[in-house]
Amino acid sequence: MTDLPVKRLADWDHDRLLETAAAYGTPTYVIDLDRVRANYRRIDAAFPDARVMYAAKANTGRAVLRAVLAAGGTIEGAARGELLRAIQAGADPDTLQYTAVNPPAPDLDFAVELAADHPGFTVTAGARDTFDRLAERGYTGRVAIRVNPGIGTGHHEKVATGKDAKFGIPAAAVPTVAEDVRARFDLVGIHAHVGSGVLADQLAEHCRALARVAELARTVGELEFVDIGGGFGVPYHEDDPPLDLDRVADEIRSAVDPLEAELVLEPGRYVVADAACILSRVNTIKPTPAATVVGIDASLATLVRPAMFDAYHPIRNVSAPDRAPSPVSVGGPCCTSADVFCTDRPIARPERGDVLAIGNAGAYGYDLASQFHSQPRPAEIAFDGETTAIARRRETLADVTRLESRQ
């Protein structure tokens, strides 16, 4: 299945999923490491003349980071914890890139200390103030300027970073800022991330923003690289077509050429989204005049994207996929109406005890999981070829209260 352009829920081995649920309990994340490696290599092959870094914020699991490194990738982190995780997974600190967004002091301290022993380490900053704070710490090393092209794309307003004032230095100010930065640091790159979850219908607007970034890079001149971020979307709906990566690569090259610097990409979602699913067991069936409510043991604490972004995730009854479909609303045990995964969606008629799989959970799934309602975070099980192993153990109630004062 690793050669498919997208891995749908129907492509997962249902018997293996059921065995995993029985052995490790639910709710549980399952991550397919072969799929992670294949996704990285697919996008790397589509851009043979570019450097492809994995944006760790999509999924910082050590098993995932090691899979990316094994596939030949390098890693970009947006926080000191992500940098530390990358190093612990085996990344060479000299290959890491840190993208600072309103960075807390401990994050900048960590970055400066790391660069002292690893001069290849690069810091990307999107505010004049951040460069000043780096200088105050004695940093003179490699930096990139994050620019704001004024154009944002993506699957939701909350991820359209290219037009959000929070991200990057406004395009008009970049040439002046570059002069100041170059006088104080080793300016090696220009960086931009336009948005996340871009599919074919947004590609033209995405490329328009990238063309503006490339023009800024040519204005600044004498750069080692131009980093255009990630944003490559995956089809969450079952009938959405996957990205045509060859077409995407051709259009991006046309948008940024000519470029007298190395092109860098930072895919995150594309590498991991379809490489994971969540297994959850049905505990309640409640017919009502408004809907048949199917209660499961996963919740918005397990996967918050439907509540946060109104995100669609496919759901499949892996216990009985051939049972006649019935329109149901699937929700978790949290005391809020936001804890709903779907409403009136046809699913092979669930019964109490069935295992449902929630697809495309590899990106911004486990990393946004919480202990809301004092729920322990789920286990994560890794499929690596024929091997099945615990990547992250399930939290216990003792873990939930472990950091609290006993007074």
**CB within 8 A of 247, min separation 6: which ones?**
200, 203
Instruction: Grade residue 129 by pLDDT with cuts at 50, 70 and 90.
Output: very high
Residue 48's domain spans which residues? 33-272
Which pLDDT belongs to residue 201? 75
Q: How many other CB atoms are there within 10 angstroms of residue 200's CB atom?
A: 16
pLDDT digits (tens, 9 = 90+) for 32-48: 999 999 999 999 999 99
Is 207 annotated as catalytic? no
User: Of 207, 277, 334, 335, which residue is the catalytic one?
Assistant: 335
pTM of the model: 0.94
pLDDT at 163 over 70: no
Mean pLDDT of 349-364: 98
pLDDT at 251 over 70: yes
- Residue 4 domain-assigned (yes or no): no
DSSP character at residue 91: -
Which pLDDT belongs to residue 3? 79
Which pLDDT belongs to residue 1? 56
- Residue 16 domain-assigned (yes or no): no
- Residue 5 domain-assigned (yes or no): no
Q: How many other CB atoms are there within 10 angstroms of residue 391's CB atom?
A: 20
Cross-strand bridge partners of residue 198:
232
- CATH code for the domain in which residue 131 is found: 3.20.20.10
pLDDT at 195 over 80: no
Kindly state the percentage of the chain with pLDDT values over 90. 85
Domain identity same for 160 and 127? yes
Give phi and psi for 127, each to the nearest 5.
Answer: -150, 140
The SS3 assignment for 81 reads: helix
**What length does the chain have?**
407
Average pLDDT of the chain is 93
- Residue 23 domain-assigned (yes or no): no
Contact yes or no for 237/314 (Cβ under 8 A): yes
Instruction: Grade residue 206 by pLDDT with cuts at 50, 70 and 90.
Output: confident
- CATH code for the domain in which residue 336 is found: 2.40.37.10
More confident residue, 326 or 156: 326
Domain identity same for 228 and 348? no
